[in-house]
Amino acid sequence: MKQAKWIWHPGSLELYHSMLLHNRRTSARRYKEGNPSNRVGQARSVYYYPMWRVDGPVHNTMLKKTATIVKEETIELFSNTNDCAIIVDGVSYNKNTKIKLCPGTHTVALHGFCAESFPAFYVTGDVFASDRTYKVDIQGKRYGQSAGESELYTNINDKVEVFKFSYKNVKPVSIEQVNGGLLYDFGKEQFAKIVVKSTELDELTLYLGESREEALDTDYSHIVVNAELKKGSYTSLAVAFRYIFVKTQKELSISAKLEYLPIKNRGSFKSDNDFINKLWDTCAYTMLLNSREGFFDGIKRDRWIWSGDAYQSYIVNYYLGFDKDIVKRTVRALRGADPIEKHINTITDYTFFWLISLHDYYMYTGDKEFIEDIYTDVKDILSFIEGRLGDDGMFARREGDWVFMDWSTFDSDGPMCGEQILLAKAYEAVEICATINNDTALAEHARKRAEYIKAQVNKLYWNEQKGAFVDSYTSGRENVTRHANILAILFGYVSEERKQSIIKNVIYNKDITPITTPYFEFFELDAMCKIGDLKYMTDMLNSYWGGMLRLGATTIWEEFDPKKSGIEHYEMYGGKYEKSLCHAWGASPIYLLGRYGLGVRPTKPGYEEYEVAPNRLAIGNFEGKVPTPNGDIFVKISDTGCTVLSEIDGGVLLLNNKNYKIPKNKKLSVKFEN
Amino acid sequence: MKQAKWIWHPGSLELYHSMLLHNRRTSARRYKEGNPSNRVGQARSVYYYPMWRVDGPVHNTMLKKTATIVKEETIELFSNTNDCAIIVDGVSYNKNTKIKLCPGTHTVALHGFCAESFPAFYVTGDVFASDRTYKVDIQGKRYGQSAGESELYTNINDKVEVFKFSYKNVKPVSIEQVNGGLLYDFGKEQFAKIVVKSTELDELTLYLGESREEALDTDYSHIVVNAELKKGSYTSLAVAFRYIFVKTQKELSISAKLEYLPIKNRGSFKSDNDFINKLWDTCAYTMLLNSREGFFDGIKRDRWIWSGDAYQSYIVNYYLGFDKDIVKRTVRALRGADPIEKHINTITDYTFFWLISLHDYYMYTGDKEFIEDIYTDVKDILSFIEGRLGDDGMFARREGDWVFMDWSTFDSDGPMCGEQILLAKAYEAVEICATINNDTALAEHARKRAEYIKAQVNKLYWNEQKGAFVDSYTSGRENVTRHANILAILFGYVSEERKQSIIKNVIYNKDITPITTPYFEFFELDAMCKIGDLKYMTDMLNSYWGGMLRLGATTIWEEFDPKKSGIEHYEMYGGKYEKSLCHAWGASPIYLLGRYGLGVRPTKPGYEEYEVAPNRLAIGNFEGKVPTPNGDIFVKISDTGCTVLSEIDGGVLLLNNKNYKIPKNKKLSVKFEN
């Protein structure tokens, strides 16, 4: 018998768990007075609504497969719902009925309804064992699409309604008597179920903190757990914390179960520089905690899936876990269901990143199947975007649009330059997707639109006097920010001359407001590495990321402003501790070190061909692995030269201005010539 | 404190229960050989998928109310979900928290999430007690719409997930030893939970039949219930049956709990003619059994909500229970959720009837509120229709469209005449809805389109030689059926000359295939009464409906062909007993007798003005009541004259070619002058 998988209407698993996770946020207590954004106070730990429409799965599913078998086989349907039927050559049977199929051509249809979650099917058999070779029947526009499946749900006993996390026991590393209570320190950030045992107490309030200060500030700590101990023990839902404070000195046992996905870190990095090693590990741990149903933004506050944040997690993932499943789940969750009424997460740039991410996905994984599976959605998203463009075919801000770009101040008069650049890049991604799907008309359309927008950006937004792109061409204020200029360099949308002008007038210009989020540092450093200034990158790792680590960060923060001090660092959105201290968008050093230190990148989809173009960094010797679909690539840089050991074909080492073919499974060592 | 009601996102209750009911159908065993439609055999009582996309409710809901109070009031939120918050003037609270509001202006927002069903809220208070004065917040296109509410759910202990049926114990009227088993006869059609008690048996198979033959034909009876009796008793879900056969002679108790909605029959009819009285009662009972979450088509097989079937139930309801709530629930259930991808029930005519029904609803109830609540949907449905018209602005058949009209044979080449007529009528309904919503532009557009289509119908489909409308103007076959001709007369879309021609060449022409469904008999008789041939109507009640009653019908059948005999009557769709013997679309005599016998109809919306234009029927003396929003109208016709006693103002009696003003609450008696 072939290994069967649980299958469902495409997107059902993702939409179901996305719906649940987006509704797990609770409100924080905010300042009642003196609050910078003047928000009113609100109670803690009350349900907090998602800020965009959250869609559930469809509740009716019909899947079908027709195939010719040469050997007799017996099939049997299992399902999570009783309202289901397996229809073999037009005859209906209940689940748990064994049906013998004679050699010949058969059609097996699976019909099901589930009100509480979504119908899922598991068919044991051989040719007719359930997997994505079953196709959507009847359901309108998705007719003929492959059934949804996931590597997480292949066992007959799996419950699709329960997300398949793993658990690991963790214990506090210290318990401190303070403020008349006890402070449990788990040593580093956790996303875990808290387990309290006590036979003396009936209930207990736990004040959680990502920081010590937050846990002890019981009026304002973000998450408060009311543990009911009537049966002697209590286990919470998984929550984020490093510290737990209790206002009692009674003896009790507090431990935790770390909730995580056991994605193996195939990527690695080690150097002579302890700080860089620690940073890499901290980034990897930040990724671990945020790698869940999809890629989360952060684990304390929103615990939501944001497309721009996820975009960066995908890229880091290609240099760390190389888990395709979580990328696909995240993309599906972000797409949501029909009708599309607003931008993804309501943010214009985040819709563009959704499309752009598919190009990256294809380059790193070479997985055409998913680009085919998601193609209807690509067209839907593009239609939505194009329905909201200006008369000139350029991005225009519409009612209800959130033009984010970054937490920074922009000249937001008229359409913003950075959005146009992302739109052009999104069109390029559409071109790739259309080409894979043999949709030459759309590919050509997208290619032309991308060219047009790039030309318009250079025409409308370039300011000769500033030697840079300005945010707005309508306001006359000539405001220059780093963001659009960085993206223009990163995507190669400017001439060499303009690039040098931007580097001088924007990037190296201290008068231009620096980036304060790791989110946009990703793009800035990616661009700087691309133009060959590796030192800018490692300096920033030391100063910016190092700044957090020196303040004791065990995971990367949502935002970091070196000018702040003390608990000012924890404040955001008008809440005293509302900043996330474990935010996935801070994990980009893994990408930067793998992509530009080890120098590995695919040059054909799925690493069919690839290059290793390592850079000597000011961090001493270093070595590491970069994962690919069919094996890992090990690269080592020492004082004297470079060694590559690759498990795959198709590589070339770029060193000493020469190309060296990289053999498969055989060490290649090249000495530096300069 | 004011009476609060449970409230929800508009449509949630309807979509949730519609989703459940549309998934309760099970398959019947069909003929394996010699089956007229050549369908393959299939197992019985296996889950059977709905034939159109069935939508669930939204799982996230945000409602809001802002009001100024002059007296202090205390509010408290109750909800069916724990994931909810009541946000008072920006501050979040958990449910079950009492919050005191001081005099002044307040905003109360209700946020909630429910994965398994839909969020519902109940707020105790005075001004802020929950009802439709709460409006949708945030959710896109429905922003500002009134919260959903229902007269069925006003008690704090109501569970919105449980449809609020009533139950009545019923017992078999006879038990017969036959075929080696026992046949329990409940005397008439039931839709009931079957209760079996036995301490001797562990399990028992119940063969149900709407007819005696069906119950005894255990290989083919449509519904089979496997009763598990391990604890000595078993209660089934509600199912349709009159007879229950068991293959055992062991002593056991079988009874049933009739499941129904206690809608009071405000309408009534009594005459000197026992057959007519029995028919009226049979129709009323047919309506009772099919009046549920919405108006069902029939209770044995589909148990679904079909728009054309429901359209007739609405109209009968205006002369029987006058229950606005069930009409509104049915309309919402049929609308479904976005995006609209197919016609309602996939049937083109059924989408037109959905619109047309709103005009009737408004005329009979005068309820502007609902026409306002549903107006977004009216526009959505119209957009969908107009997106599929031909280049000439006329109805065109598109891929995936089911052009039904009736179970009969039509010339289906090109667009069918009857569909154009329904489209014109639908435009007229849109005009009414748009006018109520002060949308003069759409009202004018709809008026013009209706005029245009009526003119086109008369131009394209009229055949001078046949003196009638033909089905198709493209085929050249000049096929005449009753249907389009009936609708043209009914809606007044033909000149007097053409009307007379149709009456002669179609209606009274025995060569034109007669109607075989009570569904289209409704329209035929409505048209015939409208042109004054009451005898045609009462003759048809005697011959057609009488035909069924003489064969022992206790409820009206889905179809009746007097030429068939024996169990041929029970066959349909290739199934031996698949015909429904309790089909709501057969209940039209209630309407026909009330509308044309008693002669009551509103002439201004909601019976603000109305007329009583009774007809002397060949059934002796008769009397009855017709319900209206604000009271009943009693009419009595004797040999010598007519008596009216009305509880409302605004009426006029049309008799003896004169008008008599009908006083309120005071008997008006007028003698016949001829």
For A366-406, the DSSP string reads: --HHHHHHTHHHHHHHHHHHHTTS-TTSS----TT-B--SS
Give the CA distances from residue B537 to residues A409, A500, A630, B282, in Å, rounded to whole numbers and listed in that order: 77, 91, 79, 17
* A508 Cβ neighbours under 8 A, 6+ residues apart: none
CB atoms within 10 A of CB A80: 21
The DSSP letter of residue B376 is: H
Tokens of B279: 């028919």
Sequence letter at residue A560:
F
Return the percentage of chain B with pLDDT > 70, whole number.
Answer: 98
CA B10-B12-B18 angle, to 5 degrees, is 130
User: Smallest Cβ distance to A92: which of B16, B23, B27?
Assistant: B27
Predicted local confidence at residue A30, as pLDDT? 63
pTM above 0.90, yes or no: yes
Q: What's the pLDDT band for B91 if we cut at 50, 70, 90?
A: confident
Listed by start position, the domains of chain B span 12-142, 166-260, 262-309+520-594, 348-403+409-514, 598-671
Q: Is the pLDDT of residue A360 over 80?
A: yes
The Cα B247–Cα B206 span in angstroms is 8
Element (H, E) at B51: none
Tokens of B555: 């409820």
Q: What is the pLDDT of residues B184-238, one digit of tens each?
A: 999 999 999 999 999 888 999 999 999 999 999 998 888 999 999 988 999 999 9
The Cα A255–Cα A238 span in angstroms is 12
Strands B651-655 and B610-612: parallel
CA A294-A184-A583 angle, to 5 degrees, is 25
Predicted local confidence at residue A375, as pLDDT? 98
Element (H, E) at A637: strand A631-637
CB atoms within 10 A of CB B32: 11
Chain B: residue whose CA lies nearest to A82: B47
Per the listing, tokens 């939508």 go with B55
Q: Is the pLDDT of residue A41 over 90?
A: no
Q: Is the pLDDT of residue B32 over 90?
A: no
* A645 Cβ neighbours under 8 A, 6+ residues apart: A633, A634, A665, A666, A667, A668
Return the percentage of chain B with pLDDT > 90, whole number.
Answer: 91
**HEC profile of A21-42:** HHCCCECCCCCCCCCCCCCCCC
Query: A12-142 and A166-260 share one CATH topology?
Result: yes
Ramachandran angles phi, psi of B82, nearest 5°: -80, -20
Chain A: residue whose CA lies nearest to B90: A40
Predicted local confidence at residue B525, as pLDDT? 97
Chain B residues 77-116 with CB within 8 Å of chain A: 82-85, 87, 89-94, 111-113, 115-116
Per the listing, tokens 């910078």 go with A36
The candidate with the shortest Cα–Cα distance to A324, out of A167, A166, A152, is A152
Q: Rounded to a whole number, what is the largest CA-CA distance in chain A? A: 79
Q: B2: distance to nearest CA of chain A, Å?
A: 27
Reduced to 3 states (helix: H, G, I; strand: E, B; else coil), residue B167 is strand
- B664, B648 contact by CB (below 8 A): yes
Sequence letter at residue A471:
D
Q: Is the pLDDT of residue B77 over 80?
A: yes
CATH code of the domain made up of A599-671: 2.60.420
B348-403+409-514 CATH fold: Glycosyltransferase (1.50.10)
Least confident of A431-440, B270-279, B393-402, B435-444: B393-402
The DSSP letter of residue A566 is: G
Give the CA distances from residue A75 to residues A131, B45, B656, in Å, rounded to whole numbers and listed in that order: 13, 20, 76
Q: What is the pLDDT of residues A96-149, one digit of tens each?
A: 999 999 999 999 999 999 999 999 999 999 999 999 999 999 867 899 999 999
User: Cβ separation of A54 and B60 shorter than 8 Å?
Assistant: yes
Residue B387, burial from CB neighbour count under 10 angstroms (0-12, 13-18, 19+): exposed
Give the residue-averaged pLDDT of A372-399. 96
- Average pLDDT score, chain A: 95
Predicted local confidence at residue B42, as pLDDT? 56
User: Cβ separation of A83 and B23 shorter than 8 Å?
Assistant: yes
The DSSP letter of residue B216 is: H
Give the residue-averaged pLDDT of A552-559. 97
Q: Which of B88, B92, B98, B137 to mutate to test the interface with A (most CBs of A within 10 A)?
A: B92
Chain B: residue whose CA lies nearest to A15: B115
Burial code of B189-228, b = ≥16 C-beta within 10 A, e = fewer? bbbbbbbbebeebeebebbbbbbbbbbbbbebbbbbbebe
CATH code of the domain made up of A166-260: 2.60.120.260
Residue A274, burial from CB neighbour count under 10 angstroms (0-12, 13-18, 19+): exposed
Q: B512: distance to nearest CA of chain A, Å?
A: 37
User: Smallest Cβ distance to A43: which of B50, B93, B117?
Assistant: B93
Question: What are the beta bridge partners of residue B297?
Answer: none
Q: What's the pLDDT band for A33 if we cut at 50, 70, 90?
A: very low
* A124 Cβ neighbours under 8 A, 6+ residues apart: A1, A4, A75, A76, A78, A156
Half-sphere exposure (Cβ direction) of B583: Cα atoms closer than 13 Å: 21
Q: What's the pLDDT band for B139 if we cut at 50, 70, 90?
A: low
User: Cβ separation of A46 and B338 shorter than 8 Å?
Assistant: no
Q: Is the pLDDT of residue B29 over 90?
A: no
Predicted local confidence at residue A38, as pLDDT? 38
Q: B428: distance to nearest CA of chain A, Å?
A: 28
Give the CA distances from residue B254 to residues B165, B197, B209, in Å, rounded to whole numbers and listed in that order: 21, 7, 15
Reduced to 3 states (helix: H, G, I; strand: E, B; else coil), residue B516 is coil
Q: What's the pLDDT band for B252 if we cut at 50, 70, 90?
A: confident
Q: What is the pLDDT of residues B474-523, one digit of tens each?
A: 999 999 999 999 999 999 999 999 999 999 999 999 999 999 899 999 99
Residue A34, burial from CB neighbour count under 10 angstroms (0-12, 13-18, 19+): exposed
The Cα B57–Cα B17 span in angstroms is 9
Question: What are the beta bridge partners of residue A295?
Answer: A291
Residue B241, burial from CB neighbour count under 10 angstroms (0-12, 13-18, 19+): buried
The Cα B508–Cα B499 span in angstroms is 12
Cis ω for the linkage preceding B339 (within 30 of 0): yes
User: Smallest Cβ distance to A43: which of B23, B91, B342?
Assistant: B91
Beta strands in A132-284 (DSSP E): 135-136, 166-170, 174-178, 181-197, 203-209, 224-228, 233-246, 253-260, 268-271
Chain B residues 115-174 with CB within 8 Å of chain A: 115-117, 138-141
Q: What is the pLDDT of residues B491-502, one digit of tens each?
A: 999 999 999 999
CATH superfamily name and code, A12-142: Galactose-binding domain-like (2.60.120.260)
Q: What's the pLDDT band for A40 if we cut at 50, 70, 90?
A: very low
Chain B: residue whose CA lies nearest to A38: B90
Sequence letter at residue B91:
V
CA A54-A55-A58 angle, to 5 degrees, is 165
Beta strands in B465-574 (DSSP E): 468-469
The candidate with the shortest Cα–Cα distance to B214, out of B244, B259, B250, B254, is B244
Predicted local confidence at residue A39, as pLDDT? 39
Q: Is the pLDDT of residue B40 over 70?
A: no
Predicted local confidence at residue A37, as pLDDT? 38
Q: Tell me: ipTM over 0.90.
A: yes
Q: Is the pLDDT of residue B75 over 90?
A: yes
The Cα B120–Cα B642 span in angstroms is 50
Q: What's the pLDDT band for B36 if we cut at 50, 70, 90?
A: very low
Return the percentage of chain A with pLDDT > 90, whole number.
Answer: 91
Give the residue-averaged pLDDT of B632-646. 97
CATH code of the domain made up of B598-671: 2.60.420
Q: Is the pLDDT of residue A81 over 80?
A: yes
Per the listing, tokens 């219930």 go with B225
CB atoms within 10 A of CB B495: 10
User: Cβ separation of A111 and B40 shorter than 8 Å?
Assistant: no
Predicted local confidence at residue A588, as pLDDT? 97
Give the residue-averaged pLDDT of A532-538. 96
Q: What's the pLDDT band for A42 if we cut at 50, 70, 90?
A: low
Does the CB of A341 have a partner CB in chain B at under 8 Å? yes
Give the residue-averaged pLDDT of B612-622. 96
Predicted local confidence at residue B144, as pLDDT? 95
Residues in chain B within 8 Å Cβ distance of A42: 87, 90-92
Give the residue-averaged pLDDT of B553-573. 95
Tokens of A274: 């302890």
The Cα B106–Cα B71 span in angstroms is 12
* A637 Cβ neighbours under 8 A, 6+ residues apart: A597, A598, A614, A616, A617, A621, A622, A623
Q: What is the pLDDT of residues A561-613, one digit of tens each?
A: 999 999 999 999 888 999 999 999 999 999 999 999 999 999 999 999 999 99
- B622, B604 contact by CB (below 8 A): no
User: Smallest Cβ distance to B43: which of A47, A93, A338?
Assistant: A93
Q: What's the pLDDT band for A43 if we cut at 50, 70, 90?
A: low
Cα dihedral value B161, B164, B168, B172, nearest 10: -50
The candidate with the shortest Cα–Cα distance to B92, out of A33, A45, A31, is A45
Q: Which comes out higher in pLDDT, residue A34 or B521?
A: B521
Give the residue-averaged pLDDT of B336-344. 96
Sequence letter at residue B304:
W
